Structure 1
Amino acid sequence: MTDGIPCMQLRGGSSKGAYFLRDDLPADPAERDDLLLRIMGSPDARQVDGLGGGHPLTSKVAVVSRSGDPDADVDYLFLQVVPDRPVVTDAQTCGNLLAGVGPFAIERGLVPAAGDTTTVRIRIVNPAVSLVEATVQTPGGRVRYDGGTVMAGTPFPAAPIHLAFPGGANPVFPTGRVVDAFTGLEVTCVDAGMPVVLLRAGDLGIAGDEDPAVLEGDDALRERVESVRLAAGAAMGLGDVRELTVPKMTIVAAPRHGGTVTTRTFIPHRVHAAIGVLGAVSVAVAVRTPGTVAPGSADTLVRVEHPTGTFDVAVDLDPDGAATRVRRTTVVRTARKLTDGLVWPRPASTRPANARPASIGEATG
């Protein structure tokens, strides 16, 4: 620890996280999680003493290793580090940080560059094992980050990274129905890589295109959405979800800007400035399936509108009502390397939060 721990920070999709090789972290999950809390700066809403950015979208960790699965090159474990609580959870994966896994694997030598593009086969190990292929730009044998692909939710263009998700054998509607009713509201529970509950904006008395800050500031709305989440989580087989970050709660409405559907997503208590990759996939599957609460569409390409733009998802389904399965989905993301070096965690034994504050002479602003 005194020599620092190898760490790379990347912007992956519309999130930002710290990427580690599994062998550079403790093997024991409890020791690993304690270390990550100290690296990221939790528990502290600002995370001022660590790498985290004081928001769930910037307090994320990717742990990558060589895979023992013959169908994959690397394993990817996602860990959400809660900013203001001493909590690290692997209850969900993250499709945004997934965009950085391929570049990280190539940079760390886990996968050799193979021509102008390199395909990295990734096994996502949480919450359930799934596979994805990431195609990364590697001209001259090096990862290319600069490019002209503009991705909503990020301010600057970068090189495209194509993510292709093969379908699975399990139906995508975990309750066995395309519409359920919880606390007096009709919802659709869908899991096409991310557990999501869809609610109609009109049923909540809102337009569905509000600014995230407006929705976060509506205490009555947040309480109602949370009551639905708790009931839906149990019905989806997730158990008591009070301390979990899933399911996500996506409010759907008619499109406003030429897309297929308008969304606002609680993740689950803050409102996403965009939408998560696998969350968007789950929404797109619901849009493509007749009878759900989402606006329907027969088009293979679903354009999901969110607070900062749109997210395109190409969906190929095996349609069968509540037994619908996904054949394949594809999306385009971007990622960018921000830093690469060593990180020093705060000591395991530090002053408690209520320790003596700095004096005026010590406080330099």
Structure 2
Amino acid sequence: MLIPIPCVVMRGGTSKGPFFLQSDLPQDEARRNQVLLAVMGSPDRRQIDGLGGGDSLSSKVVMVSASSRPGIDVEYLFAQVSVDSATVDTSPNCGNMLAGVAPFALEHGLVAIDKPQTSVRIYNQNTGKVVEAVVQTPGGKVNYEGEAHIDGVPGSGAPILLNFMDAAGAKTGKLMPTGQAIDLIDGVEVSCVDFSSPIVFIAASALGKTGYESKAELDADKALIARIEDLRRQAALRMGLGDVAGKVLPKVVLLAPPVQGGQISSRYFVPWNCHAAHAVTGALCVAAACHIPGTLAQRLVQLDAAAPQHVTIEHPSGQLHTQITQEGMDAEGWPQITKAGVIRTARPLVAGVTYIQSSAWD
């Protein structure tokens, strides 16, 4: 027998995948992960027997539920499902898929709709952080059509504003988990920052790159990928994340000065290949790092003196615009970044049920 599970496949930002109500999935973590692997068709390079697209950007799952937390509307859990191994990782967040959470919640009646826009406060179970999503809802219905364009996605859509609240120390509990703006690992300077997501920043020039290479060029350099992975694992130990072999956090970003009219150039790794565009959570961490004295990002960024809170990040598919709100310093003397915002778009692609074999559920 086949087991039907209600779901909506949505594009969120530059990623896509199935969205579920948490109540429609097993509550036991091991069983749930087994079900998600079956849903996506993993492990299989093509994911031919599931909904996965054979790529890390299209092998993602979002689970949503109503929340009983004070001041919170809904909760969501993100899962990165490995394409070619039987692994489900719920340690990271995904800011792109997050763009679909509020529309999904509104369409399923988890949150009352306002006019002409609805603000949804979302608790991220992966990081324990809160995100405010502002969705266009004229006439009391979710609007997906509009003029907002994000590089890496064809066409345009209605803007969804994502404000990440108090996102410092998302996984490590500290904005600067090593306590230093610069760490030296095997002769390479790195900056370890944890804002919305923990990231190891490296100047592209330190690894013999310009920082303007395409995804294909970077992915083809196997020696570079191996070097990045070695630095990532060593940095993770210093960040208090332990042995991260086989885990997707922390991520790595290669930085360079801007060349396309933005403030900084970034190549974001996911982590074993380069992102085709840029992760939202990674972009927010880049923007935050640009405002932290002494970091590699702060060295390379070219902020606009008239609007230093705006950081436009150049990536392989174009640009991503962010905005930082800073209020003084934290207890350890680092900038206190209280809010970081970004515009995304999202839309449902198909709704119905996905079928898995009963053995996966059992």
The equivalent residue for 2:195 is 192
The answer as to whether partners of 1:25 and 1:32 remain within 8 angstroms in 2 is yes
The equivalent residue for 1:40 is 40
**Residues 260 and 90 (structure 1 numbering): CA distance in 2 closer, same or farther, change over 3 Å?**
same
Deviation at 1:143, TM superposition (A): 0.9
User: What's the C-alpha RMSD, in Å, of the aligned pairs?
Assistant: 1.6
Matched, 1:65 2:65: yes
Equivalences for residues 40-189 of structure 1 within 5 A: 40-126=40-126, 128-167=127-166, 171-189=174-192
The equivalent residue for 2:342 is 331
1:287 to 282, 290, 294: 290
Q: Which amino acid aligns with 1:223?
A: A
The answer as to whether partners of 1:178 and 1:322 remain within 8 angstroms in 2 is no
The answer as to whether partners of 1:39 and 1:346 remain within 8 angstroms in 2 is no
Deviation at 1:165, TM superposition (A): 1.6
The equivalent residue for 1:207 is 210
Question: What is the alpha-carbon distance in structure 1 between the residues aligned to residue 270 and residue 93 of structure 2?
Answer: 12
The equivalent residue for 1:13 is 13
1:310 to 292, 298, 319: 319
The answer as to whether partners of 1:177 and 1:322 remain within 8 angstroms in 2 is no
Deviation at 1:2, TM superposition (A): 3.9
Deviation at 1:319, TM superposition (A): 5.4
Residue 159 of structure 1 aligns to a residue whose secondary structure is: coil
Deviation at 1:324, TM superposition (A): 2.7
The answer as to whether partners of 1:118 and 1:137 remain within 8 angstroms in 2 is yes
The answer as to whether partners of 2:2 and 2:357 remain within 8 angstroms in 1 is no
- Any gaps of 5 or more consecutive residues in structure 2? none
Deviation at 1:318, TM superposition (A): 3.9
The answer as to whether partners of 2:7 and 2:352 remain within 8 angstroms in 1 is yes
**Residues 243 and 97 (structure 1 numbering): CA distance in 2 closer, same or farther, change over 3 Å?**
same
Q: Which amino acid aligns with 1:165?
A: F
Q: Which has the larger radius of gyration?
A: 1
The equivalent residue for 1:26 is 26
The answer as to whether partners of 2:3 and 2:358 remain within 8 angstroms in 1 is no
Deviation at 1:317, TM superposition (A): 2.2
Matched, 1:218 2:221: yes
The answer as to whether partners of 1:187 and 1:198 remain within 8 angstroms in 2 is yes
Question: What is the alpha-carbon distance in structure 1 between the residues aligned to residue 136 and residue 348 of structure 2?
Answer: 13
Encode CA deviations 1:75-110: one digit per residue, 9 max, x unaligned: 010011001001011111111110000000001110
Question: What is the alpha-carbon distance in structure 2 between the residues aligned to residue 156 and residue 83 of structure 1?
Answer: 28
Deviation at 1:182, TM superposition (A): 1.2
Deviation at 1:202, TM superposition (A): 0.8
Deviation at 1:169, TM superposition (A): 6.8
The answer as to whether partners of 1:192 and 1:285 remain within 8 angstroms in 2 is yes
TM-score (norm 2): 0.93
Encode CA deviations 1:269-326: one digit per residue, 9 max, x unaligned: 0210111111000011111222111213361100000000111110122454863331
Question: What is the alpha-carbon distance in structure 1 between the residues aligned to residue 135 and residue 71 of structure 2?
Answer: 18
Q: Which amino acid aligns with 1:148?
A: E
Report the count of equivalent residues: 349
Residue 210 of structure 2 aligns to a residue whose secondary structure is: coil
The answer as to whether partners of 2:77 and 2:125 remain within 8 angstroms in 1 is yes
1:254 to 250, 257, 261: 257
Question: What is the alpha-carbon distance in structure 1 between the residues aligned to residue 3 and residue 250 of structure 2?
Answer: 39
The answer as to whether partners of 2:129 and 2:166 remain within 8 angstroms in 1 is no
Deviation at 1:173, TM superposition (A): 1.1
